[in-house]
């Protein structure tokens, strides 16, 4: 257990080589792994049959309109819940949650690797496999083996004729074999990753698919220089211009960095500002001036002119440089959704089973007027399940003062409606926000925080995070926090 935690806390850097990453990008963009393609295509190389790929929900530039500068996505999409391929067997027509942006999920500065809003998976590689063989790609749970067979069929049957295949070095078997002298270096696999598709086992092929897509995702990063310092956003440029670092130095933990940065900023009396500049992928100007500086002080709980401290509280969970702590908190999102449907004060009356009665129950659904038990309880669903030892251990470690005297039965109610803290870079490309996509823009979102913190103070937020109690967001604070959050935008392409 000590060993496991050491890995989670340090957050290994996942630098991989180009050949593997490019193979990952290709697999991520290939719609032939979907159920629709598998059942409707005439052959593996059929150019006319459609299907869904990861890229259809985790979009990059497919909707970009250069005349308005709108439509860029940092591997998210623009709807609260994304439509999923229809199947007659179940009634599911959309994803349970908002599609998160994927850029930065493999950052060497993220504290944990838990994947999904509710920490369902201990590592993003598990999510990758779950997706290739899962409902998002059209596959029912009972069809997992067919989905895996489809991966093998595509990899071995690809003849290199499709546009995507041509762009990435020809047929999969040629690229996986990796020996053809005409294969360019950036598409070539390292020797120990190469496979002869004709003789490789099914498991070896699947493993390579997972490994390469995970390497691709872990490589998606906001702009950093050769010393890992972030440089793309006006916020980062502001830090660098004033002699601060925009990321921890080697050997420094995120917490040490954060403390150092915060105390440095508290002493900064004459900040050098960053002039507004046009960002083509946003169709807007961003800079870092007086307003952003005022917002930063709220975000970082820095002193006001009268010496008292700002109480935005944001920093305690959204830790720079990624602006996430990789942990799970209840900031009221589920309760606010539930009470919009069922009325104020109803969430605390909701019957939630204790551990010994929970059994197979999952409470992971969008709230509807017809069903008062339809609710999304996030981490509650996976904590203390036999097949989730990493999540359970991590939560025990971070919640229990005395591990020997901390039964899971007592902890489960504290897992109600907790979700993973998302990063806050480049938010302009990933609206709407929150796990349920309930906030269309940042003003709305900050008013939700204000409501949640009022409920918390009134003792009306069920299992709310205690850090919401001191949170103070007056009108003018919201009006400076928005420009501050916008100064975290950059030209991600
Ligand atoms: C139909 C839309 C859709 C498709 C297709 C899709 N995803 Fe996702 N993805 C989502 C949603 C929604 C979530 C959030 C799920 C949750 O947290 O409950 C998600 C979450 C993820 C995450 C976790 C991110 C995080 O920060 O925790 C990863 C990794 C991921 N997807 C990778 C993939 C890969 C790889 C594929 C293709 C094999 C894929 N996705 C296909 C919608 C989709
Ligand atoms: C107690 C920890 C905590 C504090 C304090 C906190 N946040 Fe959050 N933040 C979260 C969590 C957890 C989520 C996801 C919640 C959900 O979707 O249900 C979130 C979501 C967000 C999002 C949405 C991002 C996205 O991609 O969907 C933004 C923006 C945000 N927070 C900004 C702020 C700001 C600004 C502050 C300070 C006023 C703040 N947060 C304070 C934990 C926190």
Nearest to 464 by CA among 472, 452, 451: 452
**Surface-to-core class of residue 48, CB atoms within 10 Å of its CB (0-12 exposed, 13-18 middle, 19+ buried):** exposed
468 CA closest ligand 2 atom index: 5
Ligand 2 residue neighbourhood (C-beta within 6 Å): 299, 312-314, 316-318, 329, 331, 333, 419, 421-422, 424, 427, 430, 433-435, 445, 449, 465, 467, 473, 481
- Other CB atoms within 10 A of residue 270 CB: 5
Angle at 97 between CA 91 and CA 101, to 5 degrees: 135
- 95 CA distance to ligand 1 centroid (A)? 9
Which residue puts its alpha carbon closest to atom 14 of ligand 1? 99
pLDDT digits (tens, 9 = 90+) for 265-295: 999 999 999 999 999 999 999 999 999 999 9
Contact indicator for 216, 24 with CB cutoff of 8 Å:
yes
Angle at 433 between CA 432 and CA 435, to 5 degrees: 120
The pLDDT of residue 3 is above 50: no
Q: CA of 293: how far to CAs of 137, 286, 289, 290, 483, in Å?
A: 44, 13, 6, 5, 9
pLDDT digits (tens, 9 = 90+) for 365-378: 999 999 999 999 99
- Other CB atoms within 10 A of residue 98 CB: 24
Dihedral angle, C-alpha 96, 102, 106, 107, nearest 10 °: -120
**Surface-to-core class of residue 459, CB atoms within 10 Å of its CB (0-12 exposed, 13-18 middle, 19+ buried):** exposed
127 lines ligand 1 (CB under 6 A): yes
- 99 CA distance to ligand 1 centroid (A)? 6
- 447 CA distance to ligand 2 centroid (A)? 12
pLDDT digits (tens, 9 = 90+) for 445-468: 999 999 999 999 999 999 999 999
Look at residue 1 in the predicted model and tell me its pLDDT: 34
113 lines ligand 1 (CB under 6 A): no
- 57 CA distance to ligand 1 centroid (A)? 8
Q: What ligand has the least distance to the C-alpha of 135?
A: 1
Average pLDDT, the chain: 94
Task: Please state, in angstroms and rounded to a whole number, the distance separating the CA atoms of residues 368 and 372.
Answer: 7
Average pLDDT over residues 88-116: 93
Look at residue 32 in the predicted model and tell me its pLDDT: 98
2-6, 14-18, 51-55, 159-163: segment of lowest average pLDDT: 2-6
Contact indicator for 302, 265 with CB cutoff of 8 Å:
yes
Task: Please state, in angstroms and rounded to a whole number, the distance separating the CA atoms of residues 248 and 395.
Answer: 25
Quick one: pLDDT band at residue 381, thresholds 50, 70, 90?
very high
**Surface-to-core class of residue 476, CB atoms within 10 Å of its CB (0-12 exposed, 13-18 middle, 19+ buried):** exposed
Both tokens of 336, joined, read: 């606010």
Q: Is the dihedral of CA 368, 373, 374, 378 positive or negative?
A: positive
Task: Please state, in angstroms and rounded to a whole number, the distance separating the CA atoms of residues 366 and 376.
Answer: 6
Both tokens of 402, joined, read: 């005395």
The pLDDT of residue 210 is above 50: yes
Share of the chain above pLDDT 90, in %: 93
Q: Give the total residue count for the chain.
A: 493
Task: Please state, in angstroms and rounded to a whole number, the distance separating the CA atoms of residues 275 and 246.
Answer: 18
Look at residue 36 in the predicted model and tell me its pLDDT: 97
- 32 CA distance to ligand 1 centroid (A)? 17
The pLDDT of residue 5 is above 60: no
484 CA closest ligand 2 atom index: 35
Average pLDDT over residues 166-170: 96
Residue of 51, 127, 137 with the most ligand 1 atoms within 8 Å of its CB, for mutation: 127
Look at residue 288 in the predicted model and tell me its pLDDT: 98
* Residue 59: partners with Cβ closer than 8 Å, 6 or more residues away: 73, 75, 76, 77
- 377 CA distance to ligand 2 centroid (A)? 17
The pLDDT of residue 13 is above 70: no
Nearest to 363 by CA among 169, 143, 96, 154: 96
The pLDDT of residue 208 is above 90: yes
58 lines ligand 1 (CB under 6 A): yes
Average pLDDT over residues 431-439: 97
Task: Please state, in angstroms and rounded to a whole number, the distance separating the CA atoms of residues 12 and 77.
Answer: 28
478 lines ligand 1 (CB under 6 A): no
Average pLDDT over residues 426-443: 97
Nearest to 96 by CA among 115, 110, 117, 111: 117
Q: What ligand has the least distance to the C-alpha of 147?
A: 1
Q: CA of 41: how far to CAs of 165, 172, 377, in Å?
A: 17, 18, 39
Task: Please state, in angstroms and rounded to a whole number, the distance separating the CA atoms of residues 60 and 83.
Answer: 18
Quick one: pLDDT band at residue 11, thresholds 50, 70, 90?
very low
- 349 CA distance to ligand 2 centroid (A)? 25
Task: Please state, in angstroms and rounded to a whole number, the distance separating the CA atoms of residues 223 and 107.
Answer: 12
Q: What ligand has the least distance to the C-alpha of 477?
A: 2
- 345 CA distance to ligand 1 centroid (A)? 33
Which residue puts its alpha carbon closest to atom 43 of ligand 1? 57
Q: CA of 491: how far to CAs of 25, 48, 62, 277, 280, in Å?
A: 20, 34, 15, 11, 7
206 lines ligand 1 (CB under 6 A): no
The pLDDT of residue 4 is above 80: no
What would you measure as the largest C-alpha separation in the chain, in angstroms?
Answer: 73
Both tokens of 163, joined, read: 């546009």
pLDDT digits (tens, 9 = 90+) for 299-321: 999 999 899 999 999 999 999 99
Look at residue 261 in the predicted model and tell me its pLDDT: 98
Look at residue 2 in the predicted model and tell me its pLDDT: 36
pLDDT digits (tens, 9 = 90+) for 223-265: 999 999 999 999 999 999 999 999 999 999 999 999 999 999 9
117 CA closest ligand 2 atom index: 17
Share of the chain above pLDDT 70, in %: 97
**Surface-to-core class of residue 454, CB atoms within 10 Å of its CB (0-12 exposed, 13-18 middle, 19+ buried):** middle
Task: Please state, in angstroms and rounded to a whole number, the distance separating the CA atoms of residues 442 and 440.
Answer: 7
Quick one: pLDDT band at residue 333, thresholds 50, 70, 90?
very high
Quick one: pLDDT band at residue 16, thresholds 50, 70, 90?
confident
Task: Please state, in angstroms and rounded to a whole number, the distance separating the CA atoms of residues 102 and 59.
Answer: 10
Look at residue 14 in the predicted model and tell me its pLDDT: 56
Quick one: pLDDT band at residue 111, thresholds 50, 70, 90?
confident
Task: Please state, in angstroms and rounded to a whole number, the distance separating the CA atoms of residues 193 and 296.
Answer: 45
Q: CA of 29: how far to CAs of 50, 70, 152, 164, 401, in Å?
A: 12, 22, 16, 8, 46
The pLDDT of residue 9 is above 70: no
The pLDDT of residue 78 is above 70: yes
Count of alpha carbons within 13 angstroms of residue 420, beta-carbon side: 24
């Amino acid at each position: 257990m000590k060993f496991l935690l050491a890995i989670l806390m340090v957050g290994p850097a996942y630098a991989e080589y180009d050949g593997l990453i490019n193979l990952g990008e290709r697999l991520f963009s290939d719609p032939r792994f979907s159920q629709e393609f598998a059942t409707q295509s005439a052959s593996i190389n059929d150019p006319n049959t459609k299907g869904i790929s990861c890229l259809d929900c985790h979009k990059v530039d497919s909707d970009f309109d250069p005349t308005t500068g709108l439509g860029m996505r940092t591997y998210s999409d623009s709807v609260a819940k994304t439509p999923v391929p229809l199947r007659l067997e179940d009634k599911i027509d959309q994803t349970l949650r908002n599609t998160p942006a994927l850029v930065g999920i493999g950052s060497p500065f993220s504290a944990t690797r838990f994947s999904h809003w509710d920490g369902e998976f201990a590592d993003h590689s598990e999510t990758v496999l779950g997706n290739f063989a899962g409902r998002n790609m059209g596959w029912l749970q009972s069809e997992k083996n067919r989905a895996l067979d489809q991966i093998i069929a595509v990899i071995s049957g690809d003849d290199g004729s499709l546009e995507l295949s041509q762009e990435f070095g020809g047929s999969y078997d040629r690229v996986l074999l990796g020996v053809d002298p005409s294969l360019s270096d950036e598409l070539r696999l390292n020797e120990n990753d190469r496979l002869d598709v004709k003789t490789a086992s099914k498991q070896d092929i699947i493993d390579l698919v997972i490994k390469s897509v995970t390497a691709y995702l872990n490589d998606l990063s906001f702009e950093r220089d050769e010393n890992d310092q972030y440089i793309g956003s006006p916020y980062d440029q502001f830090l660098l211009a004033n002699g601060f670092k925009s990321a921890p130095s080697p050997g420094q933990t995120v917490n040490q960095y954060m403390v150092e940065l915060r105390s440095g900023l508290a002493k900064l009396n004459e900040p050098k500002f960053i002039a507004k500049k046009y960002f083509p992928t946003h169709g807007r100007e961003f800079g870092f001036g007086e307003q952003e500086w005022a917002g930063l002080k709220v975000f970082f709980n820095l002193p006001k002119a009268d010496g008292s401290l700002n109480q935005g509280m944001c920093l305690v969970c959204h830790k720079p440089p990624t602006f996430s702590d990789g942990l799970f908190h209840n900031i009221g999102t589920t309760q606010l959704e539930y009470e919009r449907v069922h009325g104020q004060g109803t969430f605390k009356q909701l019957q939630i089973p204790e551990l010994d009665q929970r059994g197979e129950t999952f409470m992971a659904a969008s709230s509807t007027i017809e069903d008062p038990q339809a609710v999304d309880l996030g981490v509650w669903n996976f904590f203390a399940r036999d097949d989730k030892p990493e999540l359970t251990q991590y939560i025990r470690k971070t919640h229990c003062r005395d591990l020997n005297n901390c039964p899971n039965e007592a902890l489960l109610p504290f897992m109600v409606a907790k979700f993973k803290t998302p990063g806050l870079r480049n938010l302009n490309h990933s609206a709407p926000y929150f796990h349920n996509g309930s906030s269309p823009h940042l003003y709305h979102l900050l008013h939700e925080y204000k409501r949640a913190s009022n409920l918390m103070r009134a003792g009306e937020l069920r299992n709310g995070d205690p850090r919401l109690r001191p949170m103070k967001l007056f009108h003018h604070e919201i009006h400076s926090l928005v420009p501050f959050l916008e100064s975290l935008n950059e030209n991600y392409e």
